[in-house]
Amino acid sequence: MKIVILGAGQVGSTVAESLASEANDLTVVDIDGAKQRLVMVNPEITDVGPKDFLVWDDCFSFPDLLVRVTRAMQVTVAHEDLKGRPHTLQCEGPMAELMQHEIDHLDGILAVDRAVGLDPFAFRSEWEKYHLPAERYGVPYPREAPDEAIATRLRSVAAGAS
Ligand SMILES: [Zn+2]
C-alpha cells in the first residue's frame, strides 16, 4: 500500500518525507492554509493535460536546493480512501506539480532525478536573491515536440525572460 497524506503539518511532512525516501511507501505534504487532511491510498496519475511547464522544484529531502524540472500542467489522480473507496482528483498548476512530485517519491524518484536543461540546480538562498517566488512556476507550453519546446523555453529563460 502506498499513501500520500496532504495537509499534515510541517513537522509531520519533514519526518514523513525522510521516511518516505527510505521506505518509498508513504509521503506526507503540508499545504499552506489546508483546513483538512487528505489521505490518498495507492495514488496513480491516470491522465495528463496537453501542456507542460518548467518548475524550480524543492523537497524536504534537500531543503536548501532548487532543481529545474518539467511537469505536466494538469493531471488526473486516481486513488482510494482509507475505506478502499475509489476517488479521482483533477489538479492544475502548483497542485499538479505537487502530486507528480509526491507520487514520484512513492516510486523512489526524486526531483533531482528529473533535472532538465543546463545548470538545473540552484541553492535556494542564491535563487531567491534574483527571483520572485512566483517565478518558480513557468508558463505552460504544449507538449508536442517536447525537445523543441524545452529548448525554446530554456532559450527564453537564458535570455532573461521568465
Ligand atoms: Zn519531496
- Domain ranges in the chain are 3-158
Report how far ligand 1's centroid is from the alpha carbon of 127 (Å). Answer: 18
**Per-residue pLDDT, 151:** 80
Task: Tell me the mean pLDDT per 10 residues along the chain, length 162.
Answer: 70 56 61 69 94 94 93 96 92 93 90 95 96 93 75 82 58
Q: How many CB atoms are closer than 10 A to CB 148?
A: 10
| pLDDT confidence of residue 16 | 59
Q: Any idea which architecture 3-158 has in CATH? A: Alpha-Beta Complex (3.90)
Going from the Cα of 18 to the center of ligand 1, the distance in angstroms, rounded, reads 9
Q: Which of 44, 92, 97, 102 does the annotation list as catalytic? A: 102
What pLDDT is attached to residue 35?
62
Helix (H) or strand (E) segment spanning residue 119: none
Nearest to 68 by CA among 130, 131, 115: 115
H or E segment to which residue 86 belongs: strand 86-92
Asked if 111 contacts 59 with a C-beta cutoff of 8 angstroms, the reply is: yes
Query: Is 102 tagged catalytic?
Result: yes
C-alpha of residue 13 to centroid of ligand 1, in Å: 9
Question: Cα(8) to centroid of ligand 1, in Å?
Answer: 14
What residue has cell string 499545504?
31
Distance from Cα 64 to the centre of ligand 1, integer Å: 12
For residue 37, the model assigns a pLDDT of: 73
